[in-house]
A and B are shown apart, each in its own frame.
Chain A
Amino acid sequence: MESTFQFDWQAAINSIPFLLKGIPYTLLISFGGLAIGFALGILFGLLSINKRWFMRWPATAYIEIFRGTPILVQVLFIFYGLPDLLGGPIDPLTAGIAAIALNSGAYISEVVRGGVQSIDRGQTEAGLSLGLSRTQTFWSIVWPQAFRRMIPPLGNQAIVSIKDTSLFSVIGVGELVRQGQVYIANTFTAFEVYFVVALMYLCITLSLSVGLRMLERRGVANI
Chain B
Amino acid sequence: MTQIVKMQGLNKHFGELHVLKEIDLSVEPGEVVVIIGASGSGKSTLIRCVNGLEEYQSGQLLVDKENLLPKGASQKGLATIRKQVGMVFQQFNLFPHLTVKKNIMLAPTKVKEVSDTDAARLADRLLDRVGIATQANKYPSQLSGGQQQRVAIARALAMDPRLMLFDEPTSALDPEMIGEVLDVMRELAKEGMTMMVVTHEMGFAREVADRVIYIHEGRIVEEGKPEAVFDNPQHERTQAFLARVLKH
Contact = CB atoms under 8 A, between A and B. Distances in A.
Contact of A141 (B53, B87, B95): B95
Interface in A182-223: 222-223
B79 interface: yes
B21 to A, nearest CB: 24
Given A130-B156, A145-B96, A122 B110 contact: no
B219 interface: no
A88 B115 CA distance: 55
Interface of B: 51, 53, 75, 79, 82-83, 85-87, 89, 91, 93-97, 106-107, 110-111, 139, 141, 155-156, 159
B89 A125 contact: yes
Main secondary structure of the interface of B (DSSP, over half): mixed
Main secondary structure of the interface of A (DSSP, over half): helix
A133 B93 CA distance: 17
A125 B44 CA distance: 13
Given A129-B53, A129-B85, A131-B159, A123 B110 contact: no
Given A129-B51, A130-B155, A222 B96 contact: yes
Contact of B110 (A125, A132, A145, A223): A132
Given A123-B93, A130-B82, A223-B97, 7 more contacts: A122-B93, A126-B87, A128-B82, A129-B85, A130-B106, A131-B82, A133-B75
Given A122-B91, A144-B97, A223-B97, A129 B86 contact: yes
Contacts, number: 63
Nearest to B155: A130
Contact of A130 (B75, B91, B139, B159): B159
12 contacts: A122-B93, A123-B93, A126-B87, A129-B82, A129-B87, A130-B111, A131-B83, A131-B159, A136-B110, A144-B97, A222-B97, A223-B97
Contacts of B156: 129-130
Contacts of B111: 130-132, 136
Interface of A: 120, 122-123, 125-126, 128-133, 136, 140-141, 144-145, 148, 222-223
Given A129-B51, A131-B82, A140 B89 contact: no
Nearest to B85: A129
Contacts of A148: 97
A140 B51 contact: no
Given A129-B53, A130-B82, A132-B107, A145 B97 contact: yes
Contacts of B91: 120, 122
A129 B81 CA distance: 9
A37 B245 CA distance: 56
Nearest to B51: A129
B106 A125 contact: no
A131 B112 CA distance: 9
B225 to A, nearest CB: 29
Contacts of A126: 87, 89, 93-95
